[in-house]
Structure 1
């Protein structure tokens, strides 16, 4: 391969489920086609893979006895397993994977973004770490509006003003400080090696960098990061070497938190912001700190669900969704039958309306978490539901709670030999974030400011509506849909799940869990399974080709549901399941380069 130097189930579905869900190969009359709620930056426009029944592909699971890592890139997964083999625990491996993804997966892996971690010790004790980005001290609620209070297009998405204060490095420092076993230097070294020695580009990564070249040049006119010296297109197998990023990682390795939030890296980041009209300062960086939060814990049937509390909306929404459908006989109805799909859509409609009304940074607004997941409250949300027809989203608002006053992402899962488990979702928001590369430091900045409600009632890049609870404010964390989750069965680790996908994260995690718990799929089958999405507004259900049988489409349309078939895909799941014999099943998504590695 040519080097280019660069600066910078094996369980099978029940017969009746397969019979009811298998696609016929014919398109349904009247079903629209959509470009998708969430368009992945490096989505490959090729013919869909061969499908078997209700699955995106027939990819088989990876198994291991001693440990498993499932991530968005094969090199990152290899790094995680190498750390486990060297005696590291799940947190050590997770830290190493986070930094490795910042090198090998620039579209979403990051040190210029943020994320969430759910950690379950082998004893069953659980912890959650919020290292979501924050609004800079100069941020204000009208910063993306013109003099007439209208949203300025693209200002919260592209360029220097779109970035929040990064949290990924501090989050990893905190996780390792509290739970790490190997030395900090040891868990950072693999990422440094990948940056300085290079990584061979996959077909998908080469395609993504080529597609983004023009926007990189527009936002960074005097830089050539992520481009070849001769500015020609990247080819599969060519090597991406990132010297400046390697030096930044070395400063983090040698100085820990101070290697990013103070000193040379902080100076370079603040200078980049000043050069491009951004507002992040060295003081913003110095004052940033990740926050340990109490895990959000609930149940579904006989399973314990451990997930992320706000600032993530994902955990609250996931527990709401599971509890809303728990009274219904989904298993009897079957996977993606019309009745199953209908109650799932209607649950999603109500949950996303609640998200818009109630959820925000709990350090700034009162978030009524316990009320939102209360079964009695959720039962009231079904009061206007009928199987006879679709509910009109225009008539669905956030619920009424007594005493309440209104006011590009990636995931990886790790389980070690002792049974410690980590579920992390981390992001730059859009693919390649704001497209801003910090000059001299070689890393991409996020465009997370768009995850604030930049104006009440105006949708963000994923079509999500927000309100005052998620308004822009200095030092405030923007609301997220990230849903890293761990599932227990009978007090033992059972499943580690999560995905990227913007607004579709919540519904993809929801379906992946139900596919295993209700419909008898293996972990890999559940990841492979075709998916659908509804988010209240816009009032439509998007679905992967083949996710609904002709009969399901016909029945749903007859009840007034608007359906749009996607031209791309939903989810990038990276999950792990502990089987009854104690072995681990790693399930990574066939929709991208995601790879599980076990030993």
Structure 2
């Protein structure tokens, strides 16, 4: 019956499809912004690591230099970020790992967090069915079962080369020696200090100065993490059992009981990462490898690139009203689909093939206004005919080794510093990923995203994500690895970075540094970084029905491109402390 239903759906879509118009060429578009200036890209001959913190990039590079492969370096970078980047690097979170071997093999590991066994659909609602403020975003009840440690163990078992202990030890040493704060890190810790105190009333985490010292953190201060170092030592020595069993597991459960959380020892024992089949797509002669659900990123990225391929974005001009119109209308339609259809594929059929079917995608853009006017989000719903099934702080790193193996990995606690809960005696932060479920159908989450029943809370289920680790190839050869943090903006930031290179010919660093725009269906507005639009372009878009929302910088895109001569070109986002290193 199901196969007949899908056939009927596709036939219906074929019947209602109209041709997609092509863009008119505007050779001298005075409303287009000039291509942005940026620092020169780092170019190296053999291998490269780009991550959100210099210490993590350094550790990854050292692993490559001592003979490790990209997968070894990824493990070392992940654990280093758990020490050096507490706002997003983690042991208590999860993520998605995408790889491409030098011989063309590909794989996608889902180490996303899971809902505890005691979780329920309405656990964040009051008796009247209203969302209880902050319950899913902060504190002990906001945390899903962590997947990061299991994910790294699984990567190493399948793909690693160097001994496990050698990959974890650098993070142990970093935690004991301490991390010298940058100005951004000091500001983040100072801003979050009240929450650290509020959600950790029984102990003082390392992120707060001890003994009542209220001095703010300063750039160049050093923070040491003795509890975290001991946790990392258990992971180094015992692997999976060093986190999901034994002392660390007992500390996690004790923390849950102390603060009203629901993660149990059985939840920890049951957690397993999952290898999933990567998604494949194409754009202007390039092939893309992307993450499948429960990441929404791969589906959404492939949809948007298909929608945009008929239009000559280069001729329209970078961030011109015409180009912004095309990109925004594609984003608007894709985010409407995301809210309705996407969720954990282990808890119901997710119609990936239908959502990325060229006929369906073409039909979604058939309602585009040729005059450049906005289509109000109130008039844009999810695409008709597909079945609905019941059932901003992240970090990213890219690695290419001397053999040509490539890693694109996005990992997260969700919000900045996750749930703000630090496991007493273990020294690491827990995630607030439960907010990535649809706490209530139609209610916006931390990032303003709405969702439906496909992403409702169920025990053991993985929450929907926007993480979009991506690998691009050309002619069977590696061309680019890219990804970013940024909550709901992740997908559009990756989209723009790819377009910046393929359509506008930017260097890798230019593409990463360029001011960004973002639209996610609801709320119905274009978020715009400073200098993203010329004043005349902004005025034109507003006259055409677009609401422009000025916003501070978002995302931390990191990317590596393979140049025609085989050298590697890195882009590290200046919005953070990101660093590209290589040899």
With normalisation by structure 2, the TM-score equals 0.93
**2:382 corresponding residue in structure 1:** 398
Question: Equivalent residue of 2:287, what SS?
Answer: strand
Question: Equivalent residue of 2:50, what SS?
Answer: strand
Can you list the C-alpha shifts for 1:421-467, whole angstroms capped at 9, x where unaligned?
00000000000000000000000000000000000000000000000
With normalisation by structure 1, the TM-score equals 0.91
Compared CA separation, residues 301 and 234, structure 1 to 2 (3 A)? same
Alpha-carbon distance in structure 1 between the residues aligned to 2:378 and 2:573 = 35
Task: Say if 1:121 and 1:419, in contact at 8 Å, map to a contact too.
Answer: yes
Task: Say if 1:371 and 1:401, in contact at 8 Å, map to a contact too.
Answer: no
Q: Is 1:234 the counterpart of 2:217 in the alignment?
A: yes
Task: Say if 1:69 and 1:596, in contact at 8 Å, map to a contact too.
Answer: yes
Offset, 1:545: 1.3
Offset, 1:19: 6.7
Alpha-carbon distance in structure 1 between the residues aligned to 2:431 and 2:318 = 37
Q: Is 1:590 the counterpart of 2:574 in the alignment?
A: yes
Alpha-carbon distance in structure 2 between the residues aligned to 1:434 and 1:422 = 28
Aligned runs of 1:410-449 on 2, under 5 Å?
410-449=395-434
Question: Equivalent residue of 1:513, what SS?
Answer: helix
Can you list the C-alpha shifts for 1:338-369, whole angstroms capped at 9, x where unaligned?
11110100000000000001000000011010
Aligned runs of 1:16-55 on 2, under 5 Å?
21-22=32-33, 53-55=34-36
Offset, 1:331: 1.6
Task: Say if 1:18 and 1:54, in contact at 8 Å, map to a contact too.
Answer: no
Task: Say if 1:130 and 1:291, in contact at 8 Å, map to a contact too.
Answer: yes
Runs of 4+ in 1 over 6 A off after TM superposition: 15-19
**2:557 corresponding residue in structure 1:** 573
Alpha-carbon distance in structure 2 between the residues aligned to 1:470 and 1:352 = 14
Q: Tell which deviates more after alignment, 162-171 or 543-552.
A: 543-552
Q: Is 1:322 the counterpart of 2:302 in the alignment?
A: no
Question: Equivalent residue of 1:426, what SS?
Answer: strand
**1:383 corresponding residue in structure 2:** 366
Offset, 1:384: 1.9
Q: Is 1:177 the counterpart of 2:157 in the alignment?
A: yes
Task: Say if 2:388 and 2:454, in contact at 8 Å, map to a contact too.
Answer: no
**1:349 corresponding residue in structure 2:** 332
Compared CA separation, residues 579 and 280, structure 1 to 2 (3 A)? same
Question: Equivalent residue of 2:345, what SS?
Answer: coil
Offset, 1:67: 0.8
Of 309, 312, 330, the residue aligned with 2:295 is 312
Offset, 1:401: 3.3
Can you list the C-alpha shifts for 1:74-97, whole angstroms capped at 9, x where unaligned?
010000000000100000000100
Of 333, 345, 350, the residue aligned with 1:367 is 350
Offset, 1:16: 7.3
Of 262, 268, 271, the residue aligned with 1:285 is 268
Question: Equivalent residue of 1:174, what SS?
Answer: helix
Task: Say if 2:482 and 2:559, in contact at 8 Å, map to a contact too.
Answer: yes
**1:7 corresponding residue in structure 2:** none
**1:498 corresponding residue in structure 2:** 483
**2:458 corresponding residue in structure 1:** 473
Can you list the C-alpha shifts for 1:529-550, whole angstroms capped at 9, x where unaligned?
1110000000010111111122
**2:50 corresponding residue in structure 1:** 70
Q: Tell which deviates more after alignment, 437-446 or 334-343.
A: 334-343
Can you list the C-alpha shifts for 1:460-514, whole angstroms capped at 9, x where unaligned?
0000000000000100000000000000011100000000000000000000000
Alpha-carbon distance in structure 2 between the residues aligned to 1:181 and 1:337 = 48
| Structure 1 gaps, min length 5 | 1-14, 23-52
Task: Say if 1:248 and 1:265, in contact at 8 Å, map to a contact too.
Answer: yes
Compared CA separation, residues 18 and 238, structure 1 to 2 (3 A)? farther
Compared CA separation, residues 188 and 332, structure 1 to 2 (3 A)? same
Alpha-carbon distance in structure 1 between the residues aligned to 2:176 and 2:162 = 22
Alpha-carbon distance in structure 2 between the residues aligned to 1:503 and 1:358 = 16
Can you list the C-alpha shifts for 1:361-407, whole angstroms capped at 9, x where unaligned?
00001101011011100111123221332111111111123566566
**1:127 corresponding residue in structure 2:** 107
Alpha-carbon distance in structure 1 between the residues aligned to 2:531 and 2:183 = 26
Q: Tell which deviates more after alignment, 568-577 or 351-360.
A: 568-577
**2:14 corresponding residue in structure 1:** none
Task: Say if 1:358 and 1:406, in contact at 8 Å, map to a contact too.
Answer: no
**1:5 corresponding residue in structure 2:** none
Question: Equivalent residue of 1:150, what SS?
Answer: coil
Task: Say if 1:137 and 1:284, in contact at 8 Å, map to a contact too.
Answer: yes
Can you list the C-alpha shifts for 1:26-67, whole angstroms capped at 9, x where unaligned?
xxxxxxxxxxxxxxxxxxxxxxxxxxx553x62221121121
Task: Say if 2:443 and 2:451, in contact at 8 Å, map to a contact too.
Answer: yes
**1:535 corresponding residue in structure 2:** 520
Compared CA separation, residues 301 and 208, structure 1 to 2 (3 A)? same
Offset, 1:222: 2.2
**2:9 corresponding residue in structure 1:** none
Of 234, 254, 259, the residue aligned with 1:276 is 259
Compared CA separation, residues 66 and 595, structure 1 to 2 (3 A)? same
Aligned runs of 1:72-91 on 2, under 5 Å?
72-91=52-71
Alpha-carbon distance in structure 2 between the residues aligned to 1:382 and 1:18 = 24
Offset, 1:232: 1.9
Alpha-carbon distance in structure 1 between the residues aligned to 2:42 and 2:151 = 29
Offset, 1:17: 8.9
| Structure 2 gaps, min length 5 | 1-25
Task: Say if 1:118 and 1:423, in contact at 8 Å, map to a contact too.
Answer: yes
Q: Is 1:267 the counterpart of 2:265 in the alignment?
A: no
Task: Say if 2:389 and 2:454, in contact at 8 Å, map to a contact too.
Answer: no
Q: Is 1:462 the counterpart of 2:447 in the alignment?
A: yes
Alpha-carbon distance in structure 1 between the residues aligned to 2:64 and 2:29 = 38
Can you list the C-alpha shifts for 1:548-576, whole angstroms capped at 9, x where unaligned?
1223212211211111111x102211110
Q: Tell which deviates more after alignment, 353-362 or 223-232.
A: 223-232
Alpha-carbon distance in structure 2 between the residues aligned to 1:284 and 1:19 = 58
Q: Is 1:143 the counterpart of 2:108 in the alignment?
A: no
Q: Is 1:186 the counterpart of 2:166 in the alignment?
A: yes
Question: Equivalent residue of 2:407, what SS?
Answer: strand
**2:468 corresponding residue in structure 1:** 483
